[in-house]
Amino acid sequence: MYLVPVAGSRDFLVTSGSTMAAAEIARQMTEGARNLSLSGHVGFDGMPDQLVNKSVCQGFCFNILCVGETGLGKSTLMDTLFNTRFEGDPSPHNQPGVHIKSSSYELQESSVRLKLSIVNSVGFGDQINKEESYKSLVEFIDAQFEAYLQEELKIKRTLHNYHDSRIHACLYFIAPTGHSLKSLDLVTMKKLDSKVNIIPIIAKADSISKNELQKFKIKIMSELVSNGVQIYQFPTDDETVAEINGTMNAHLPFAVVGSTEEIKIGNKMMKARQYPWGTVQVENENHCDFVKLREMLIRVNMEDLREQTHTRHYELYRRCKLEEMGFKDTDPDNKPFSLQETYEAKRNEFLGELQKKEEEMRQMFVMRVKEKESELKEAEKELHDKFDRLKKLHQDEKKKLEDKKKSLDDEINAFKQRKTAAELLQSQAQQSGSQQTLKREKERKNFF
Ligand code: GTP
Ligand code: MG
């Protein structure tokens, strides 16, 4: 939150946003403003204290994404960094893809409360085909931006107590091969660099010699540059930290060793890793860059990482998303375009498209109806033709049957006539036969 004097008046405008944006507003508004000297103490010099008190009261949140292949010491480093043991079950490493596991913790140091989320890339690099390994990371980061954007766009929003889950820092664990970056590392960092502050670190740096480590660091940096991968640079614009940050930028990528084991060295207990040939002290700057990482990540630049996440990465996501939705700041003539105008223009465009679609659908419907009509007419005609054909066939069959019946009737009549004639003949023959028998009987009687 910033106090900005309003030009030509005694009022102050309370504004919030990034330092740069506020400075620009202040510059524009103070042009032509009068400089007055106060004749006594007023008290607005206590404003920074008010802000500090308010922030302490609200607490802070910080979200770290750990990306790196299985067993590179991600969990151990987190435990070492925050001097605690974040309990958690061991992650499975036989899954078909990379999945994201996020755990949140409430930490307190003095009176400052920190809500810390540690997001782990479980199974990263475990697959044979690693082409899609970066996808779930990108999707997760975008989902957190989207959730924040949705909260911002709400009519009733509660951003002051919103649990911000956007990733503020991505610790990218590089395997201590001493050789070069793997293509999986390059591809993943390239995909993430516009979405998150990447801090590359060489894991398990105790397994590589000092000379090799220096060469490895140079090789990694040159590969990142030649592949256009943007990593997070500790800011040098604030003069209170410019020197230390400038020096630390030259030490990137930090080569770290993690351990939660405490070993007595001299009369002090120290975090270290013990080997048959000696001891690696985690917090000894001659042994590794763990202290540098802790200083840069937590003590000096935590707020800058949060601010960069909001002003650079989230802003980019928001801009792309709103542009995708059709929102613009200026019209085609480069004149400012208000949200209302954009909304109206978008609405008109949408209604126009809707009308066009409606008209297209109507025409399609009419065409379809016509097509169906002609199809039905065709079918009707075919049916009529078929009916006519069948009718004719039926008539022909009927006629044939009638002819056949007639000829059969004729045959029956002829047969009947023949039968009657035959019966007549037969009866005549019988009659003449019986007369002859009588005659012969008479003749025989006469003879005797
Ligand atoms: P996953 O979550 O299973 O992917 O593993 P991780 O990356 O969280 O690794 P974890 O912290 O579980 O450590 C794996 C092994 O590496 C353990 O045996 C650790 O003791 C060991 N280890 C952790 N940090 C270092 C280190 O800096 N140097 C060496 N040499 N070993 C380490
Ligand atoms: Mg782990």
CA of 210 to the centre of ligand 2 (A): 26
- Phi, psi angles (nearest 5°) of residue 406: -65, -45
Query: C-alpha distances in angstroms, 1 versus 4, 152, 253, 299, 309?
Result: 10, 17, 34, 22, 17
Q: So what's the pLDDT on residue 1?
A: 42
Residues with Cβ within 8 Å of residue 62, at least 6 apart in sequence: 114, 115, 116, 117, 168, 169, 302, 305, 306
Q: So what's the pLDDT on residue 12?
A: 45
Ion ligand 2 residues within 5 Å by Cβ: 74-75
Mean pLDDT by 10 residues, the chain (448 residues): 45 47 58 83 89 88 93 91 81 81 90 91 82 90 95 86 92 92 92 95 92 92 93 90 89 92 86 89 90 92 94 94 80 73 82 95 96 96 96 96 95 94 92 86 80
Computed on alpha carbons and rounded to an integer, the radius of gyration of the chain in Å comes to 50
Q: So what's the pLDDT on residue 264?
A: 86
The preferred substitution site among 64, 72, 79, 95 for testing ligand 1, maximizing ligand atoms within 8 Å of CB, is: 72
Protein residue with its CA nearest to atom 16 in ligand 1: 73
Which ligand lies nearest the alpha carbon of 95? Answer: 1
Protein residue with its CA nearest to atom 26 in ligand 1: 204
Q: Which of 184, 191, 256, 196 is nearest to 228 (CA)?
A: 191
Residue 253 in contact with residue 297, Cβ under 8 Å?
Answer: no
Q: Which of 48, 36, 115 is nearest to 82 (CA)?
A: 115
CA of 124 to the centre of ligand 1 (A): 14
The preferred substitution site among 67, 72, 76 for testing ligand 1, maximizing ligand atoms within 8 Å of CB, is: 76
CA of 76 to the centre of ligand 2 (A): 7
Q: For residues 19 and 442, what is the distance between their CA atoms, to the nearest angstrom? A: 167
Q: For residues 127 and 409, what is the distance between their CA atoms, to the nearest angstrom? A: 96
Q: So what's the pLDDT on residue 17?
A: 46
- Extended beta strands in 110-237, E state: 112-122, 169-174, 198-202
Protein residue with its CA nearest to atom 24 in ligand 1: 73
